[in-house]
Amino acid sequence: MTMLPFDVEMDSLVKRAIALYNRTHSPNAIAKLTLLTPPTLIVQFSGSFCTGCGTFEITDAFADQLKTLSRGKVEVKQDKTTQTNPHTIQTIYTIKTK
């Protein structure tokens, strides 16, 4: 499967956002790319956060960093977050570009 330039840019942007997120939120929360097949993005978050009360803060912070890095050209909408392990959640986002 060959990546189109848009896909390469998106891959790079998502990886930079994850690296920035991990620098600013570790060890409380660590993001890991699970799947990037535009318009779907799946990110796993793990750490010592409360999976009930802290979920939105964690997933929204990642979405905000992605938007900031893209200078507002890329936004993600959270579709579903599920707890996969005691201190791990997985979030499915839909990518929107401007």
Residues 79, 75: Cα–Cα separation, whole Å:
13
With bands split at pLDDT 50, 70 and 90, how would you rate the model's confidence at 45?
very high
Residues 84, 82: Cα–Cα separation, whole Å:
6
What pairs with residue 78 in β-bridges?
93
Look at residue 91 and tell me whether its pLDDT is greater than 50: yes
User: Hey, what CATH class is 5-97 in?
Assistant: alpha beta
The vertex-8 CA angle with 4 and 9, nearest 5°, equals 115
What pLDDT, on a 0 to 100 scale, did the predictor assign at position 50?
75
- Rounded to two decimals, the pTM is 0.90
